[in-house]
């Protein structure tokens, strides 16, 4: 049994029929229910297969036409009768003609009669020229088409079906045909449509014992003896020889065979006679033959849609009862549940119930609408997920409603208190830096105390807004003025980094100190070493080297002293 589909276009009842020797049985296969049919407000759709030979009958009680909580109130009798089973053969001409012949005899005079000319005259008149050897005669033979030999191009099985339905004291009839009306309607009661047929494993037989012949005199197609037609065709190969020997005998034989070949001969297929189809147009190019009352080669399949208001509809419902309901406490950020025990109470039939949960803010239900099937008296414990969001622990009401899926007016609701604890975010009076904000904890939530123009920094674990220096401090490896340049990279440190400031240079001072110190060294060395032992030019070279070396040493020392001194002054200015 399929689940109930509330919004299908109609209620489907599938009946499959099997038949043996005229006795048919119908079995209920599938039922779906809806009240929104395109043709009727409510409808039953029957899919039927008939054996095609005789009456097929079924009597259904209302309780047998059932889908879950829906069944018919009235009994239904269905009788199908298949008639006019026929095999139709579409005939086309094969190009072979059935002819009769006549001839003219003429005298042939050697050296006088123009053989070529006489042959041409005969053929121009539509004849065939014959002249026996060493004879003083020649003949012109003429053919007259009496009919055409045909062949079966296609064969089709055709049938008609009468469908009679009875219910609530009324009887309605619809006729269908696979070659005519494939659908029919009795307004406000039922609609029938033919969908085709199921093969019985055989097909319309071939016309093996006869040839289709078109008679030009009667203008119709019929069957002729296969033997006689074959005899006529075979004689075509010996006619000329016999004609040259005995013309009158050959002409008589030819025409007798043609008469037999074109004459109608009753033919049967599967014990059913072949008739000319008088309803079809007949030409020398195409026609139709038909065999009636043949064995059924297809079992007709049709659908029958019946207005459900005619046979009645009875519905069964559940009786939802909420025996108990609870909602255990849960933490924010997790999923909570409403736990309920649901009972299909007294008087409730097999069916389905749908459930809906509505909660007060900050609670909300999650998931889609739940639908569950229930047997008579069955009880189930169900969980309904809920969630919530709050900075504090909170309680709120949630309402669970249960209703019958077929009849929403059968409904019951209960309310339960749900409880949710909050997640700990921070401790009261706790402080922190958060980007440019100085924040403090209040009621388990961070509150902005101050928004910095620069950024928030910790000073002895206490957040405060950072102060940006007015200018760069050279040689502290910090970008003091936040321009992306550190120490000597910053243009403000150009003179400190170059050893100058306000036009004062360290190099002249270093040279002066180096000269004085060098002369002092030379003075003390000259006292120690006698002048007679040291040449003057050597003393001069030593003096120059000392001055250079001491200038470099004093320059570096003085530059460092000046830079550090100026940096200290800058710090105090800030």
pLDDT tens digits for range 135-155: 788 899 999 999 999 999 998
**Does 96 or 51 have the greater pLDDT score?**
96
So what's the pLDDT on residue 449?
A: 87
So what's the pLDDT on residue 152?
A: 92
Domains (range + CATH), the chain? 11-86+155-203+296-311 (2.60.98), 89-154+205-290 (no CATH), 316-421 (2.60.40.10), 431-465 (no CATH), 499-573 (no CATH)
**Where is mean pLDDT largest: 98-107, 298-307, 383-392, 560-569?**
98-107
Number of CB atoms found within 10 A of residue 492's CB:
18
Q: How far apart are CA 275 and CA 243, in angstroms?
A: 37
Contact between 49 and 17 (Cβ < 8 Å): yes
Residue pointed to by tokens 């037999």:
260
Query: What is the reported pTM?
Result: 0.48
Helix crossing, 536-573 with 507-528: angle to 10°? 140
Tens digits of per-residue pLDDT, 492-536?
Answer: 776 666 655 443 455 666 676 667 777 767 666 666 666 555 566
Q: What residues form DSSP beta bridges with 158?
A: 86
Tens digits of per-residue pLDDT, 40-50?
Answer: 877 877 777 77
So what's the pLDDT on residue 11?
A: 36
So what's the pLDDT on residue 135?
A: 78
* Kind of pairing between the strands at 43-49 and 370-374: unpaired
């Amino acid at each position: 049994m399929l689940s109930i589909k509330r919004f299908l276009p109609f209620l489907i009842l599938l009946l499959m029929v099997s038949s043996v020797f005229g006795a048919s049985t119908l079995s209920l296969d599938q039922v779906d229910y809806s009240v929104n049919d395109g043709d009727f407000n409510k409808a039953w759709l029957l899919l039927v297969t008939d054996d095609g030979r005789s009456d097929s009958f079924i009597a259904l009680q209302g309780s047998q036409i059932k889908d879950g909580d829906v069944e018919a109130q009235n009994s239904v009798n269905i009788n199908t009768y298949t008639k006019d089973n026929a095999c139709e053969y579409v005939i086309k001409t094969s190009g072979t003609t059935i002819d009769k012949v006549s001839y003219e005899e003429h005298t042939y005079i050697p050296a006088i009669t123009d053989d070529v000319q006489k042959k041409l005259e005969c053929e121009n008149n539509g004849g065939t020229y014959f002249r026996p050897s060493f004879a003083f005669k020649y003949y012109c033979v003429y053919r007259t088409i009496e009919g055409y030999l045909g062949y079966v191009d296609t064969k089709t099985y055709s049938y008609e079906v009468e469908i009679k339905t009875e219910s609530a004291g009324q009887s309605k009839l619809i006729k269908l045909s696979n070659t005519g009306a494939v659908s029919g309607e009795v307004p406000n009661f039922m609609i029938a449509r033919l969908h085709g047929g199921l093969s019985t494993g055989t097909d319309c037989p071939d016309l093996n014992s006869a040839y289709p012949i078109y008679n030009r005199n009667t203008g119709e197609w019929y069957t002729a003896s296969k033997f006689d037609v074959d005899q006529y065709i075979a004689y075509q190969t010996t006619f000329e020889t016999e004609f040259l020997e005995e013309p009158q005998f050959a002409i008589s034989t030819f025409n007798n065979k043609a008469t037999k070949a074109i004459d109608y001969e009753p033919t049967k297929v599967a014990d059913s006679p072949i008739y000319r189809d008088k309803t079809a147009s007949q030409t020398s190019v195409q026609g139709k033959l038909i065999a009636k009352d043949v064995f059924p080669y297809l079992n007709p399949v049709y659908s029958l849609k019946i207005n459900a208001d005619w046979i009645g509809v009875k519905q069964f419902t559940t009786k939802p009862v909420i025996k108990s309901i609870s909602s255990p406490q849960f933490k924010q950020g997790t999923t909570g549940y409403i736990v309920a025990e649901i009972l299909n109470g007294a008087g409730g039939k097999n069916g389905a119930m749908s459930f809906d949960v509505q909660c007060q803010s900050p609670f909300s239900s999650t998931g889609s609408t739940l639908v569950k099937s229930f047997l008579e008296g069955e009880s189930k414990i169900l969980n309904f997920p809920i969630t919530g969001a709050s900075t504090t622990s909170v309680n709120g009401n949630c309402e669970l409603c249960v209703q019958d899926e077929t009849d929403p007016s059968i409904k019951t609701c209960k309310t339960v208190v749900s409880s949710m604890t909050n997640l700990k975010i921070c401790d009261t009076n706790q402080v922190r830096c958060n980007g440019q904000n100085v924040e403090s904890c209040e009621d388990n939530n961070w509150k902005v105390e101050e928004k910095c123009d620069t950024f928030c920094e910790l000073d002895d674990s206490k957040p405060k807004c950072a102060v940006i220096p007015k200018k760069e401090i050279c040689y502290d490896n910090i970008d003091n003025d936040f321009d992306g340049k550190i120490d000597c990279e910053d243009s403000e440190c150009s003179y400190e980094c170059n050893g100058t400031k306000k036009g004062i240079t360290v190099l002249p001072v270093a040279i002066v100190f180096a000269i004085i110190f060098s002369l002092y060294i030379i003075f003390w060395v000259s006292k120690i070493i006698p002048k007679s032992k040291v040449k003057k030019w050597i003393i001069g070279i030593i003096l120059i080297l000392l001055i250079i070396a001491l200038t470099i040493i004093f320059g570096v020392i003085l530059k460092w002293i000046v830079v550090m001194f100026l940096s200290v002054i800058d710090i105090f200015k800030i």
